[in-house]
């Protein structure tokens, strides 16, 4: 018998190709007729297919629908477990078996089901693979889980449901960008700090904020990291946001800040002068110091707008600070003043 004749006798798709589905149908036929299920159409199997019986007393096979349902399901490209999992699919399959539909007719009916229309090609193939070849599916899932675990660790995402995310990624065919979108929502503080790439971004942002005289909350940094990790924004967008906040806080310096300067650089002459007068380490003077902040945005008495205080007036302001009275600078100044007075009165030469 030719392959097409065998396929016609078995009631499977007649394409002349003796592929896995045809061989499976042959084995099922042989098994149901008490023959050796080897998939080889020898004399006994040929006789049975032609209705001449075989090596057993088993009744001849009926038309296609009498073949094992699992084999029939495979002929339509499905695992029986998938068809049984959805009432609509099972109903169509039963109609196909009863009416000896071709695979093409079954596929056409399948495309109108909610199961088909509600899933992508990737999701449908994954569902079929999970039921028909669970070992391969499990191996594929393990590879996806390993990949996502590495991506989460690098990003700094604390994922507690890695299994669930990995299965969704496999079934829906997520690419790296889609995976990042999901993992980004899991970026959060662990033991008081952000981890991975998110932690590196946080360090850069905190330094920029400190240089711009800003004190931002942990929530701000976490939200910025989640946004950047998810691909909704870039790390540089957070830097720009910090700069804009500084520009808003010091409108008289906005142009300089937007041109690339930091508040720390602009304030450096004031910090150096203040540290010298108060005899303290300049690094101990921050942009949160009220004297420094007032100097950077003094109100012009004539226009009412914020302006930089000139250094002479700033130094006089520092000398009014109670801390200045305890410095050697203050003592020397006081001694100098006393000596001048005594000299003016002729009491000291």
11 has a pLDDT exceeding 80: no
Give domain status of residue 86, yes or no.
Answer: no
Q: Is residue 29 part of a domain?
A: yes
- Please name the residues in contact with 133: beta carbons below 8 A apart, sequence gap of 6 or more: none
Q: Which residue has the higher pLDDT, 161 or 342?
A: 161
* Res. 212 pLDDT band, cuts 50 70 90: very high
What pLDDT is attached to residue 157?
95
Q: What does the pLDDT read at residue 61?
A: 37
343, containing H or E segment = helix 328-344
Is 177 inside any structural domain? yes
3-state secondary structure of 324: helix
Token representation of residue 136: 């391969």
Q: Are residues 165 and 225 in the same domain?
A: no
DSSP secondary structure string, 304-320?
--EEPPPHHHHHHHHHT
pLDDT at res. 60: 37
Looking at the chain, the whole-number percentage of residues with pLDDT higher than 90 is 44
Task: Answer yes or no: do 8 and 65 share one domain.
Answer: yes
pLDDT, residue 106, reads 80
Is residue 155 located within the same domain as residue 217? no
Domain that holds residue 176: 134-184
- Please give the structure tokens belonging to residue 130: 């999970």
Position 329 pLDDT exceeds 90: no
Last residue of a domain, one of 25, 50, 75: 75
Q: What is the pLDDT of residue 334?
A: 53
Check whether residue 50 and residue 8 sit in a common domain: yes
Residue 59 has pLDDT above 50, yes or no: no
Q: Is residue 348 part of a domain?
A: no
Q: How confident is the model over 145-149, as a mean pLDDT? A: 96
Give a yes or no: residue 271 inside a domain: yes
Within-domain flag for 167 = yes
Q: Are residues 243 and 293 in the same domain?
A: no
- Listed in sequence order, the residues at least 6 apart from 69 whose beta carbon sits closer than 8 Å to its beta carbon are 80, 97
Residue pair 249/213 in contact by the 8 Å Cβ criterion: yes
Do 237 and 228 meet the contact criterion of CB atoms below 8 Å apart? Answer: yes
Report the SS3 class of residue 157: strand
Q: How far is the CA of 123 from the CAs of 116, 172, 347, in angstroms? A: 9, 5, 102
pLDDT of residue 332: 66
Does 54 lie in the same domain as 32? yes
Question: According to the model, what pLDDT value does residue 257 have?
Answer: 96
Spatial distance between the Cα atoms of 40 and 42, rounded to a whole number of angstroms? 6
Q: Can you tell me the mean pLDDT for 126-155?
A: 91
From the DSSP assignment, how many helices (H) and strands (E) are in the chain? 20, 2
Residue 54 binned pLDDT confidence (cut-offs 50, 70, 90): very low
Strand segments, DSSP code E, in 274-342 are 298-299, 306-307
Q: Note whether 283 and 310 are same-domain residues.
A: yes
Residues 248-288 have pLDDT tens digits of 999 999 999 999 999 999 999 999 999 988 888 988 899 99
Percentage of the chain beyond pLDDT 70 is 88
Q: ∠ CA(118), CA(111), CA(76), 5° rounding?
A: 115
Is 108 a member of any domain?
Answer: no
One domain for residues 328 and 285: yes
Please report the DSSP string for 188-239 in residue order. Answer: --BTTB--HHHHHHHHHHHHHHHHTT----HHHHHHHHHHHHHTSS-HHHHH
Asked if residue 63 and residue 40 are part of one domain, the reply reads yes
DSSP string, 108-154: HHHTTSHHHHTS-HHHHHHHHHHHH-HHHHHHHHHHHHHHHHHHHHH
The confidence band for 345, taking pLDDT boundaries of 50, 70 and 90, is low
Residue 331 maps to a domain: yes
Residues 6+ apart with CB under 8 A from 106: 76, 92, 93, 96
Domain count, the chain: 4
Per residue in 228-252, pLDDT (tens digit) is 999 999 999 999 999 999 999 999 9
């Amino acid at each position: 018998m030719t392959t097409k004749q065998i396929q016609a006798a078995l009631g499977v798709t007649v394409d002349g190709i003796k592929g896995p589905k045809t061989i499976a149908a042959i084995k099922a036929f042989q098994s149901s007729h008490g023959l050796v299920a080897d998939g080889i159409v020898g004399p006994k199997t040929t006789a049975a297919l032609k209705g001449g019986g075989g090596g057993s007393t088993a009744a001849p096979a009926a038309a296609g629908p009498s073949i094992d349902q699992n084999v029939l399901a495979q002929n339509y490209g499905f695992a029986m477990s998938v068809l049984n999992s959805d009432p609509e699919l099972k109903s169509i399959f039963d109609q196909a078996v009863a009416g000896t539909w071709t695979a093409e007719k079954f596929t056409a009916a399948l495309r109108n089901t909610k199961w088909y229309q509600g899933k992508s090609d990737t999701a449908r193939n994954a569902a079929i693979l999970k039921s028909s070849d669970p070992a391969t599916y499990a191996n594929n899932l393990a590879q996806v889980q390993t990949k996502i675990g590495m991506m989460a660790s690098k990003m700094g995402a604390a994922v507690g449901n890695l299994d669930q995310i990995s299965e969704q990624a496999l079934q829906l065919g997520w690419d790296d960008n889609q995976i990042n979108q999901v993992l980004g929502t899991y970026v959060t503080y662990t033991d008081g700090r952000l981890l991975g790439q998110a932690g590196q971004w946080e360090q850069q942002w905190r330094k920029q904020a400190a240089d711009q005289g800003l004190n931002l909350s942990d929530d701000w940094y976490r939200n910025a990291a989640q946004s950047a990790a998810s691909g909704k924004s870039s790390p540089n967008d957070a830097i720009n946001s910090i700069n804009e906040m500084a520009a808003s806080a010091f409108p008289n310096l906005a142009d300089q800040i937007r041109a690339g300067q930091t508040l720390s650089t602009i304030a450096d002459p004031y910090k150096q002068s203040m540290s010298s007068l108060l005899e303290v380490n300049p690094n101990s003077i921050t942009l949160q110091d009220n004297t420094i902040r007032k100097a950077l945005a003094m109100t012009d008495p004539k226009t009412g707008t914020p302006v930089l205080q000139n250094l002479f007036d700033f130094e006089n302001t520092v000398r009014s600070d109670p801390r200045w009275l305890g410095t050697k600078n203050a003592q020397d100044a006081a001694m100098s003043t006393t000596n001048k007075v005594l000299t003016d009165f002729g009491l000291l030469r």
